[in-house]
Amino acid sequence: MCACFYLPDQKRSALSFFTMGSSCSNNLGIPPGNGPNAVGCTDFMMDHTAEGTFFRLYYPCQEMESAEKPDWVPCKEYFNGLADFMKMNRALSERIFNYLFGSFKIPAYLDAPFKSNEKCPVIIFSHGLGAFRTLYSAICAEMASQGFIVASVEHRDQSASATYYFCDKPESERSNEWMYYRALRHGESEFPLRNKQVKQRADECILALDKLTEINSGISVQNVLETQFDWSTLKNSMDLCRIAVMGHSFGGATVIEALCKEVKFKCGVALDSWMTPLDDEIFPRVKQPIFFINSEKFQWAGNISRMKKLDSAVIQRKMITIRGTVHQSFPDFTFLTGNWIGKLMKLKGEIDPELAIDLCNNATLAFLQRHLGLEKNFNQWDPLIDGEDENLIPGTNVNLLQHHDL
C-alpha cells in the first residue's frame, strides 16, 4: 500500500497482484512513542465546508489503562479511496485491505485528557499523495511522546485518497460528503495541478495553526465531530514561539511552500520530498532552516538538484539519507506487512523499519531542539543531523554530476 506518496502508475496497478499473497501476523504493529509521555489523540474538524481545516491531534496525555486506541484506518471509505488511488476494484480491495490492516490500532489513547508539565512546542504535519491523517502515526506519536503537540492535517485538495466534511444541514439530515483522490486526466500536465494543490495544502497547514492558536488562547471553538475531548484543557498549553512544519513526499513540498507563506513556522523537516509541485521562484524566499531526510531508493538527480537550490551560506539547510530505506519507510504501512510482501511491494527496505524510523525521529528531534531553542536532551542525537551513523549517508547517495539542470 504505497498509497501515501508519489507512486508511478505502473507500480500502482501491479500492487493488486502482490497484495493477494500477504497474511496477517500477530508480530506486526505500529511502534509506540519512546518518550516519557503517554500519548493521546483526537480529531478536529473546523466547520461544515470543504474549506475548513481537518486534523488528527496527537498530544501528551494522562496515563490511561482502559482508554480505547482508535482504528488505524478510520472507516471503509478510506479503503475505497486507497483502492481508487491504486486503480483497484473497490469491493475486492476493501476485503483485502480490511483483512491486511483492519485490526491495527493507532499507538495513542483516543480522547485521553491532556497532561503536560510545561508548554508544548507545536508541529504541523502534512501527508503524502494518496494518504490521509492517520497514516504517519509512528512519527506523530513519537513527537507527542517527547512533549510536542502535533496536528496531522488531512488535506482537501483531492490529493488525499479520501477525506470528508459535513454539509451544513439540520442535524436530522446531516451527512458527510466524501472527497476522493483525483488522478491526472489523460494528457493532463502534472505541474499545474500539483502546484495548485501544494498552495492549498500550505494554506490548510496555516489554517490548522491558526485554529490551534485560537484554542491556546482559550477561545471556544466548535468541533463539528463532537468528540469527547475537552478542548478547553489546551488553553495556554502551547509554546507558539516554537512551531515547526513537517511532511512526507508531497507533504515535503508542502513544508517548503508553508515555510515561504508563514514565518511563524521556525523550521521545517521534509521527509523524502517530492519537489515537482513547487515553483522555483519560491526557493529564495524561504528564510527558515530546513532538514531533508531522504530514503536511499526514491530520490533522483533532478529532484535532489531542486533541494540543493535551497542551499544557503547563512541559513542551515541539512540533508541526510537513511541507508537501506525506500520511499515507504516513513508511513506506517512499513510496520504492518510481513518481510517478503513488504519488500515485494516496496513498503520495506533492507533496513529494519523500526531502526529506520528511530533514526528519522531522533535526527528530527535534534534538529528541532537546535532551531526551536528547546531545553531537552535531544542534542544527544546531534551527530545524526550530519549523517554521522553507520546507517546514514551525509547528504545524498544520488550522483548529480551527470545532471545539467542545476
**What residues are annotated to the active site?**
249, 272, 327
Distance spanning both ends of the chain, measured CA to CA: 33
Residue 95: helix, strand or coil by DSSP? Answer: helix
DSSP character at residue 109: E
List beta partners, residue 120: 238
- Using CA atoms, how far apart are residues 4 and 130, in angstroms rounded to an integer? 5
Helices and strands: H and E segment counts in the chain: 10, 12
Q: Cβ(163)–Cβ(56) under 8 Å?
A: no
Residues with Cβ within 8 Å of 185's Cβ and at least 6 positions away in sequence, in order, are none
- Using CA atoms, how far apart are residues 330 and 217, in angstroms rounded to an integer? 33
Q: Cell 508541529 maps to which residue? A: 123
DSSP notation for 269-296:
EEES---TTS-GGGGGG--S-EEEEEET
Helix (H) or strand (E) holding 153: strand 149-153
List beta partners, residue 268: 245, 290
